[in-house]
Copies of this chain bind each other. A is one copy, B any other.
Amino acid sequence: MKIKKLVVVGVGLIGGSCALALKKAGAVDEVVGVGRTRTNLDTARERGIVDRALTLDMPWAREAADADVVLLAAPVAQFPPLFEALAPHVSDDVAITDAGSTKQDVIAAARGTLGDGLASFIPGHPIAGTEHTGAAAAFPALFEGRNVVLTPLDETHDDAIALVTAMWQACGARVSTLEPERHDAIFAAVSHLPHVLAFTLVAELAARPDAAAYFDHAASGFRDFTRIAGSSPEMWRDIALANREALLAEIDGYGDALAAARALISEGDGEALAEMFEQASTARRAWEARRVRPVPEDKG
């Protein structure tokens, strides 16, 4: 697999790390970076992440005409105008993919803007990241052993699917596919809901007049439970709203489960409470045991 020309829109941690990984693997000849700010693009050029760089006020979308792959790694909320700009330049010979954490909203944006170019679009979600952002934070090993989920459309060309699969595999990732709706439902449960729960807990504590007394006694259980509450507020606002329906369903299901737990505590039903804790503990330990290696920080 060799990509002659890769266009990365949003040369941040994800887009930059993908470019670096492909370069390290000898799987790409030329990387063109596209971004909002010249400063970040300069960093990307200095670090050898991109060979050429264009800001969004330049005719960047023309670069898609002779590219093999265009990777949208900008914040998802910016996708609609990016798709619109790309539409006139998309041929059957290019694969368009993205790195957004939600898929149904991205697909809806693509359907509304890409036209015939939709056949070149293969939505994706690399399950990787760190708490750092920007081209300065990119590193080639970010995707090693990580999962990348693709959610092909009925319209997507087989060639586009094969090329984007090979691209992520060249970055060291494992690639799997899901239906877009299924993707959003699963990540609502295992990622978006936990983030909302953690943000809610810390915000509620922080709003108390005597918050310091609580934080002063918080220990390592609190530390791990709330780590994700230190995540980017803007990014998680966008994800929560983009995946609203699935997330609301998860919040409601969780509310029911919490009400059931509350009832057991209120009634003093120690047997049923221990049984529920035991189910959780057993499942959590089994999950941990199946993870064969330590998990680097990711955005999930």
A positions within 8 Å CB-CB of B: 127, 147, 149, 182, 186-187, 189-191, 193-207, 211, 213-215, 217-234, 236-238, 240-241, 244, 247-248, 251-255, 257-259, 261-262, 265-266, 268, 270, 273-285, 287-288, 290-291, 295-300
Q: What copy number does this chain have within its complex? A: 2
Q: Which residues of chain B are within 8 angstroms of A244 by Cβ–Cβ distance?
A: 265-266, 268
Closest residue of chain B to A261 (Cβ to Cβ) is B200
Complex Cα distance, B224 from A296, in Å, reads 11
Q: Which residues of chain B are within 8 angstroms of A280 by Cβ–Cβ distance?
A: 198-203, 206, 229, 233
Which of these, B191, B205, B218, B237, contacts A222 with CB under 8 Å?
B191
Q: Which residues of chain B are within 8 angstroms of A283 by Cβ–Cβ distance?
A: 202-203, 205-206, 211, 215
Complex Cα distance, B228 from A182, in Å, reads 28
Complex Cα distance, B158 from A143, in Å, reads 60
| Distance in Å: Cβ of A175 to nearest Cβ of chain B | 13
Q: Which residues of chain B are within 8 angstroms of A187 by Cβ–Cβ distance?
A: 217
Which of these, B228, B258, B287, B288, contacts A197 with CB under 8 Å?
B258
Given known A-B contacts A190-B222, A268-B241, A204 and B300 have beta carbons under 8 A apart: no
The answer on a CB contact under 8 Å between A218 and B265 is no
The answer on a CB contact under 8 Å between B265 and A241 is yes
Q: Which residues of chain B are within 8 angstroms of A217 by Cβ–Cβ distance?
A: 127, 147, 149, 186-187, 190
Known: A202-B281, A220-B300, A237-B274. 12 other contacts (CB 8 A): A187-B217, A191-B222, A197-B225, A199-B276, A199-B281, A202-B279, A206-B279, A206-B283, A218-B300, A241-B265, A241-B273, A251-B258
| Distance in Å: Cβ of A177 to nearest Cβ of chain B | 12
Complex Cα distance, B199 from A230, in Å, reads 21
